[in-house]
């Protein structure tokens, strides 16, 4: 795995490139090899440990067609050896919006993804959906 990311931003770019292009080798290289890494997808259980996380990604990547994934970094917090990114993902032609927290760790082999926790944002209330108290 000859991938070396010099920053958490490079690691994030690699992660989303692997996801968009269904590149399992790049996905494997993006994650830190550790027993305590974890990944949570919307509505799914936590996948914990490098092997479980990559088995899950293998399933996701093999069961799809390449799709457009745009991501917008909402905020970045660097804390020495760790970086926390809050990201808005827009996936596919349906424009599904997902909010994710990605945590990166600086290793001897460059920056690696430690945690990806994604969830669907709450639905936007329409004015007609609002509850009005009765007086």
Determine, yes or no, domain membership for 132.
no
User: What is the per-residue pLDDT across 80-126, written as a single tens digit (0 to 9) for each?
Assistant: 999 999 999 999 888 999 999 999 999 999 999 999 999 988 777 66
Task: Quote the mean pLDDT of the chain.
Answer: 90
Domain contains 127: no
Look at residue 55 and tell me if it is in a domain.
Answer: yes
Q: Is the predicted pLDDT of residue 9 greater than 90, yes or no?
A: yes
| pLDDT recorded at residue 134 | 61
Whether residue 27 is contained in a domain is answered as yes
Residue 48: per-residue pLDDT: 98
Domain count, the chain: 1
- CA 2 to chain CA centroid, Å, is 21
Q: From 36, 25, 34, 35, select the one nearest 2 (Cα to Cα).
A: 25
What pLDDT, on a 0 to 100 scale, did the predictor assign at position 128? 58
Residue 13 placed within a domain: yes
Is residue 1 predicted with pLDDT exceeding 60? no
- pLDDT score of 39 more than 60: yes
pLDDT > 90? residue 66? no
Say what the pLDDT of residue 132 is: 55
* SS3 readout for the chain: CCCCCCCHHHHHHHHHHHHHHCCHHHHHHHECCCCCCEEECCCCCCEECHHHHHHHHHHHHHCCCCCCEEEEEEEEEEECCEEEEEEEEEECCCCEEEEEEEEEEEECCEEEEEEEEEECCCCCCCHHHCCCCCC
For residue 92, give the CATH number of its domain. 3.10.450.50
Residue 37: which domain range?
8-120
């Amino acid at each position: 795995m000859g991938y070396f990311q010099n920053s958490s931003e490079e690691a994030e770019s690699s992660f989303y490139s692997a996801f968009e292009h269904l590149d399992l080798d790049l996905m494997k290289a993006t994650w830190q090899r550790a027993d305590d890494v974890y990944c949570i997808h919307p509505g799914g259980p936590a996948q914990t440990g490098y092997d479980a996380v990559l088995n899950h990604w293998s399933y996701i990547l093999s069961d799809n067609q390449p799709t457009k994934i745009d991501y917008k970094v909402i905020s970045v917090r660097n804390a020495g050896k760790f970086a926390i990114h809050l990201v808005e993902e827009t996936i596919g032609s349906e424009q599904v919006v997902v909010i994710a927290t990605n945590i990166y760790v600086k290793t001897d082999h460059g920056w690696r993804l430690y945690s990806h926790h994604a969830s669907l944002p709450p639905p936007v209330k329409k004015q007609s959906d609002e509850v009005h108290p009765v007086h």
